[in-house]
Structure 1
């Protein structure tokens, strides 16, 4: 096989690939995307499950390899994973993501409302996986992702499992959408996280009071099992999701409109 382009590290450990496929649990009837498919290391076992597979790759030579290897059994999409349209229907992702574009792709997969991603098994940089699965996210965006998806670090993937080996280890990150979040609750959640991660940091009671008033805010927090005196950034993302769900059912709370960038209908125009 030809030398890879600078910055490209191909997953080469069969055990890691097998773990990704096993955890994904996909089969006939499922739509699955392999982003950064390369020569098809993950694409091949995905296709063997009987799922409908889209292999996204921007490198011209790898695209030729994919076409020759899979023919019509896999749809090969020649394009940049940061820009190719995503399906309108529910889909899964099983992929070893190039480290340099991990955050832009995660933003496309985890940010939109409503959720179209049904599950994902991803190989990402180790430090990123640790940050995303932290009990206390560092930013509003990462808290938004974690509040709406279960993000689980499955295993560490050593650098030696790539060819050529990168300078850092990677991780198998598993993603599952959390249930019970509608568009109104999501809008309330985004607003709450904006106050919670703003400057300066606020206590939880003031965050909720910004939408519901002080008295109702304290009541809602206690109902969700959160101490009103807690620092907002110390409240878990699951707790914020419960608070948002309770607030969304209050008639006196006006749910602010989600930013255009988070609304599903404006994110992608794919099929």
Structure 2
């Protein structure tokens, strides 16, 4: 095995690896990506499930190891590329990966931001603090809220630093990502507009935020039915509630909906 590139911490705990694969539920017929595949610690057990695996790795030495190791496995395709730029599949896919901490946010942005993205679900190893922030009940910024409203983000378990070679200075976490249903393109545009208003004016009553898209009484009814207080601060309403409200508002074709930013259309 080649020496570990500077800044790279390889997941080396068999128990954690087995837990990731089991939780992902991938199997025959699925397409799964292992970003930052390294020497193939996750690639091999993923291939054993019967799924088609894309092993993405940018380090030349690891790429050579992967190609030798999986030369006889047609279900494994080794792609030499940077995970920030590699082309993503045009069909539904899953991700099971131990992501280099330094590029976790750029990859999450690629996977979770575009409405047109085909990510079905992911089981990721990320830095502990990042996982805590992404799974907080109140996302701290608009981007995190956008992700949490469209995907169920859950912190499955803490992963101690000694589970990596070499050990990083901080612990990691198993982050589960599952796409929520019920939002089409129009509903997503409404959701983005609603969340934008919430994060610009967090203390404004929730009914005023929704009032931009619906009459006063329907706005109150929708919020109450979703379990939110229409008179309370907009920021106090859970992002999942805004997602459900957005899907209802979007049904009314008489409401003008602003276009999503280009970067979110994908």
TM-score (normalizing by structure 2): 0.95
Structure 1 residues 5, 211: closer, same or farther in 2, change over 3 A?
same
In structure 2, C-alpha distance between the alignment counterparts of 1:242 and 1:56, rounded to whole Å: 35
Runs of 4+ in 1 over 3 A off after TM superposition: 213-216
Residue 99 of structure 2 is aligned to residue 104 of structure 1: no
Contact preservation (8 Å) 1:46, 1:53: yes
Contact preservation (8 Å) 2:199, 2:235: yes
SS in 1 for 2:53: strand
The answer for the alignment partner of 2:163 in structure 1 is 161
User: 1:132-166, CA deviations, whole angstroms, 9 ceiling, x for partnerless residues?
Assistant: 11111001111111111111111000000001110
Contact preservation (8 Å) 1:212, 1:252: no
Query: Superposition pairs for residues 14-25 of structure 1, below 5 Å?
Result: 14-25=14-25
Stretches of structure 1 that go unaligned for 5 or more consecutive residues are: 265-271
The answer for the alignment partner of 2:178 in structure 1 is 176
In structure 1, C-alpha distance between the alignment counterparts of 2:72 and 2:119, rounded to whole Å: 24
The answer for the alignment partner of 1:29 in structure 2 is 29
Contact preservation (8 Å) 1:150, 1:177: yes
The answer for the alignment partner of 2:67 in structure 1 is 67
Residue 251 of structure 2 is aligned to residue 249 of structure 1: yes
In structure 2, C-alpha distance between the alignment counterparts of 1:10 and 1:101, rounded to whole Å: 14
SS in 2 for 1:210: coil
The answer for the alignment partner of 2:44 in structure 1 is 44
Contact preservation (8 Å) 2:202, 2:235: no
Say which is worse superposed, 65-74 or 30-39, in terms of deviation: 65-74
Contact preservation (8 Å) 1:32, 1:91: yes
1:114 Cα shift?
Answer: 3.4
Match of 1:124 among 123, 126, 133: 126
In structure 1, C-alpha distance between the alignment counterparts of 2:72 and 2:203, rounded to whole Å: 54
Stretches of structure 2 that go unaligned for 5 or more consecutive residues are: none
SS in 1 for 2:71: helix
1:113 Cα shift?
Answer: 1.1
1:213 Cα shift?
Answer: 4.8
TM-score (normalizing by structure 1): 0.93
Count, aligned residues: 264
In structure 2, C-alpha distance between the alignment counterparts of 1:67 and 1:207, rounded to whole Å: 54
SS in 2 for 1:5: coil
Query: Superposition pairs for residues 133-212 of structure 1, below 5 Å?
Result: 133-199=135-201, 201-212=203-214
The answer for the alignment partner of 1:76 in structure 2 is 78
The answer for the alignment partner of 1:267 in structure 2 is none
Aligned residues: CA RMSD: 1.4
The answer for the alignment partner of 1:236 in structure 2 is 238
